[in-house]
Structure 1
Amino acid sequence: MIRIENLSKTFTLHNQGSAVIPVMTGANLSVDKGECVALTGVSGAGKSTLMRMIYGNYLAASGHIWVGETDVAAANPREILELRRHTLGYVSQFLRVVPRVPTLEVVAEPLLSVGTPRAEAIARAEELLARLNIPQRLWSLSPTTFSGGEQQRVNIARGFAHVYPAMLLDEPTASLDAVNRETVLCLVEEAKARGAAIVGIFHDEAARDRVCDRVVDVTGFAPAQAA
């Protein structure tokens, strides 16, 4: 479902004489349906960079990033937006939403954008918000007013609302209490059971051991001179 072939990435430092910094070269990775792969490596090794490349936020210098039938490395912006709408979900660490939009609408939006009937989308959003212990009195308010922990849980609810065939998870259990951590791990397990291919960053070793099938150290993707 997710297949990375001979992927390379460089950054150009325009404020430093346009110096080119190689950060990844010859990366190969495949993730099957129903499989969760954890990315590991020291800080700065390229975990987040690889995730952002898969999602299409960073351009690849060369190589391929297949998500289903779409090569993200060669896709145009319209194709990437379509991929994100239907196929590839991303649960980041931070919630970014339009101010003043009610929480219920924020969580339901991924479903509404793919044509899910409104009543069904709202019901799914209510289910997830309840499972993640967001008080019902907050559902009509904008999550931009919430605490950091509440925003994180809204972000998780939004990320799991649509049944994405592929998902990217960036520290989904970070800073969660035991009850909500368990809920998130159950959501990951449910996604795997329905066949989602998942790539994630899990610094929570117990969570990683529970839901991940393999661990890939991205340090092995570093250019020889930077390794």
Structure 2
Amino acid sequence: MIQVENVAKSFTLHNQGAAVIPVMAGASLQVAAGECVALVGQSGSGKSTLMRMIYGNYLAASGRIMIGDVDVASAEPREILDLRRYTLGYVSQFLRVVPRVPTVEVVAEPLLATGTERNAAISRAKVLLDDLNIPERLWGLSPTTFSGGEQQRVNIARGFAYNYPALLLDEPTASLDGANREVVMSMIEEAKARGAAIIGIFHDEAARDRVCDREIDVTGFTPKAPA
């Protein structure tokens, strides 16, 4: 379902004489349907960079990133948008939403974007918010006013609202209490059971051990310094 082949990435520092900094080379991995793979490695080793390339936020310098039959590395913007709408979900650490949009609408939006009937989408959003212990009195408010932990749970609800065939999870259990952590663990296990291919960054070792089938150390993709 997800196949990364010989991907490289560099950044150009335009404020420092256009210096080119290589950050990744030869990145390759495969994730099958129903499998969860953890990206591991020390801070700064490229876990988030690789995740952002797979989602299309960063453009790969070379190589292929296949999500189903779409190569993210060479896809047109409209193809990336369609991929994100129907195929590839992303739960990031930070909630980015339009201010003043009610929380229940934020969570329902991925379903509405795929043509789900509005009442069904709103009902699904309410179930997820309830499961993740977001008080009903907050559902009509913008999540921009929420605490960090509440925003994280809204982000998780939004990411799991639609049954994406592939999912990217960036620290989905960070800062959660035990009850909400268990809810998220169950959501990941359910996604795997229905056949979702998942790549995640988990600093929570117990969570990683529970839901991930294997680990890939991205340190091995660090470019070698010239001799």
Question: What TM-score range do you get, normalising by the shorter chain?
Answer: over 0.9
AA partner of residue 139 (structure 1): W
SS at match of 2:203: coil
Residue in 1 that maps onto 2:155: 155
Residue in 2 that maps onto 1:119: 119
TM-score normalised according to structure 1 size:
0.99
| CA-CA distance at 1:119 after TM superposition | 1.2
Find the aligned partners of 1:225 and 1:212 in 2 and give their Cα distance: 32
Residue in 1 that maps onto 2:104: 104
Q: Which runs of 5+ in 1 are unaligned?
A: none
Which portions of structure 1, spanning 4 or more consecutive aligned residues, are displaced by more than 6 angstroms?
none
| CA-CA distance at 1:95 after TM superposition | 0.5
Alignment of 1:1-227 (within 5 A): 1-225=1-225
TM-score normalised according to structure 2 size:
0.99
| CA-CA distance at 1:225 after TM superposition | 1.3
Find the aligned partners of 1:225 and 1:37 in 2 and give their Cα distance: 28
Q: Which runs of 5+ in 2 are unaligned?
A: none
| CA-CA distance at 1:224 after TM superposition | 1.4
Find the aligned partners of 1:25 and 1:93 in 2 and give their Cα distance: 25
SS at match of 2:174: coil
SS at match of 1:199: strand
SS at match of 1:107: helix
- What does the per-residue CA deviation read over 1:106-146, in whole Å, with 9 as the maximum and x for residues that have no partner? 00000000000111111110110000000011101111111
Aligned residues: 226
AA partner of residue 26 (structure 1): G
| CA-CA distance at 1:197 after TM superposition | 0.2
Find the aligned partners of 1:65 and 1:165 in 2 and give their Cα distance: 15
CA RMSD of aligned residues (A): 0.7
